Amino acid sequence: MTSAASDFVSTASSSAATAQNILFDVRPGEVSFSFGAPDESLLRQIVPVLKQATIERLEADPDAYTLLQYGPIAGDAVFINQLAAFLRLHYNDPHVDATHLMATAGASQGLSFACTHLMKPGDPVLIEDPTYFLAEQLILEHHLKTVGVRTDDDGINVEDLEKQLKAIPIKNPSEGYSAMLYLVPTFSNPRGTTISHEKRQRIVALAHQYNVIVVCDDVYELLCYKGAQPPVPRLFSYDAAILRDTPAASKRGHVISNASFSKIFGPGVRLGWIEAWVDIQEKLTNTGFMASGGGVQHCMSGLMGTAIQNGSLDRVIAALQAAYGARMAAVCAKLRQAIPAGVVNLIEPQGGLFMWVEFRDTAVDTEALLARARREFAVGFQPGNRFSQSKTFGHCMRLGIAFHPEAELLSGVDRLARLIHASIADGSIRVVP
Ligand SMILES: Cc1ncc(COP(=O)(O)O)c(C=O)c1O
């Protein structure tokens, strides 16, 4: 093990767990709320599902060898049709159309495709403040410039969005989009909030008015704890409803749903999909990348198609919804009970993997608090400013509930509570009734 690799040590002692944590900075014995990745117990339950789908597909399909060939550019037709049927059911939307779907190697690649093929260097990308920080890094790597937009408890602040849009020169559609708007609309990362129906209508109207492409990271849409379907329809469906009534010559998409199997199956499969209107699909697929390598994740998509068809993906999603729902409820209840009144504000999310905790004392510096948390209490989290352009969230932290089973998470809450009590006692956190 290199010295760098030896810094990444699992919370469990097995070598398998060490391998699973290779990307994650977790010290021995630490409970970490820092990550949006499933713990070992969840992944282990999914292994037999993948095994069964693989056996079924490779044994039962005489044409299974085609999975080892270069794949069709928008994705294997069988998989795409299975995905369309799956989404019609899970989104409760009869309009999901296979011609709007393409396979990706996950939402990170989907966002990268959108940045590469729909934007030009220097173009503005509006992002929520706070937003998923790795998306911001990815956007900046494409030589685009980010512009922060304020957020409320029901997602992006549309008044601020319009103010920022007014400051951006509007391009003629023949020159491309004037700007991109990057959103995590449902059970967002980092705040766990969901954009309301009214705001979704307004956002799509603004996108048409200002010639904006909205890229929705829809990776948490299906991780609703109560009720199988997303609480509000995905933003793409609002745009599609407009486009269905638009004359053929002027149909032009303004919303992309960029989704993934990472959070509803396992991140290691590196499989996702983009749902976008046909004009956008053409821009994303008519590329040197696709011409050279063919459709993305062709073999994996074939196996996932079988998991969709035999119903096992549905069962995995139901199990994850139940596990994450139970964890979130338990963590929130314990936080409320263990942290004294007047110290934090929190909104209990109804889905997804993250909760946002705001210290009422705005002088709290969660970056410094994290250093103490790890050193003295063996607990980790993400400080709020890591998600923020404006750096005005230093008194906030993001807690993720995916990375440990419930009992370990509750031990983590105990440690956070002890940290907070110690900080109140030495005056580094003030109670603000
Ligand atoms: C909002 C958001 N988008 C994208 C990703 C990464 O998705 P993928 O694994 O599909 O690339 C994450 C992972 O945490 C995320 O939270």
pLDDT in tens, the chain (433 residues): 233 323 323 334 344 455 555 678 899 999 999 999 999 999 999 999 999 999 999 998 999 999 999 999 989 899 999 999 999 999 999 999 999 999 999 999 999 999 999 999 999 999 999 999 999 999 999 999 999 999 999 999 999 999 999 999 999 999 999 999 999 999 999 999 999 999 999 999 999 999 999 999 999 999 999 977 899 999 999 999 999 999 888 899 999 999 999 999 999 999 999 999 999 999 999 999 999 999 999 999 999 999 999 999 999 999 999 999 999 999 999 999 999 999 999 999 999 999 999 999 999 999 999 999 999 999 999 999 999 999 999 999 999 999 999 999 999 999 999 999 999 999 999 999 8
Ligand 1 site, residue 217, Cβ cutoff 6 A: yes
Put simply, whether the predicted model's pTM sits higher than 0.85 gets the answer: yes
Ligand 1 site, residue 132, Cβ cutoff 6 A: yes
What is the pLDDT at residue 217?
98
Please confirm whether the linkage preceding 28 is cis (ω < 30° from 0).
no
Q: Which two tokens stand for residue 60?
A: 């039962």
Of all protein residues, the one whose alpha carbon is nearest to atom 3 of ligand 1 is 217
Of all protein residues, the one whose alpha carbon is nearest to atom 16 of ligand 1 is 189
Ligand 1 site, residue 260, Cβ cutoff 6 A: yes
Ligand 1 site, residue 385, Cβ cutoff 6 A: no
Compute the distance between CA of residue 15 and CA of residue 9 in angstroms, rounded to an integer. 10
Ligand 1 site, residue 151, Cβ cutoff 6 A: no
- Cα(264) to centroid of ligand 1, in Å? 11
- Cα(123) to centroid of ligand 1, in Å? 23
Residue 187 — left, alpha, or beta (φ > 0 → left; ψ -120 to 50 → alpha)? left
Residues 6+ away with beta carbon under 8 Å from 77: 98
Of all protein residues, the one whose alpha carbon is nearest to atom 7 of ligand 1 is 107
Mutate which of 115, 217, 220 for ligand 1 pocket (most atoms within 8 A of beta carbon): 217
Residue 257 bridge partners (DSSP): 216, 275
- Cα(428) to centroid of ligand 1, in Å? 34
Provide the CA 72 distance to its chain's centre, in angstroms: 26
- Cα(108) to centroid of ligand 1, in Å? 6
Ligand 1 site, residue 273, Cβ cutoff 6 A: no
Ligand 1 site, residue 384, Cβ cutoff 6 A: no
- Cα(219) to centroid of ligand 1, in Å? 6
- Cα(107) to centroid of ligand 1, in Å? 6
Compute the distance between CA of residue 136 and CA of residue 91 in angstroms, rounded to an integer. 27
Compute the distance between CA of residue 142 and CA of residue 404 in angstroms, rounded to an integer. 34
Compute the distance between CA of residue 64 and CA of residue 142 in angstroms, rounded to an integer. 37
- Cα(134) to centroid of ligand 1, in Å? 8
Ligand 1 site, residue 267, Cβ cutoff 6 A: yes
- Cα(297) to centroid of ligand 1, in Å? 17
What number does the ligand 1 atom closest to the CA of 108 have? Answer: 11
- Cα(14) to centroid of ligand 1, in Å? 27
What is the pLDDT at residue 20?
52
Ligand 1 site, residue 264, Cβ cutoff 6 A: no
Domains in the chain, please, with CATH?
3-45+314-425 (3.90.1150.10), 66-310 (3.40.640.10)
What number does the ligand 1 atom closest to the CA of 353 have? Answer: 16
SS (H, E, C) 299-325: HHHHHHHHHHHCCHHHHHHHHHHHHHH
Residues 6+ away with beta carbon under 8 Å from 402: 35, 36, 37, 38, 39, 42, 324, 327, 353
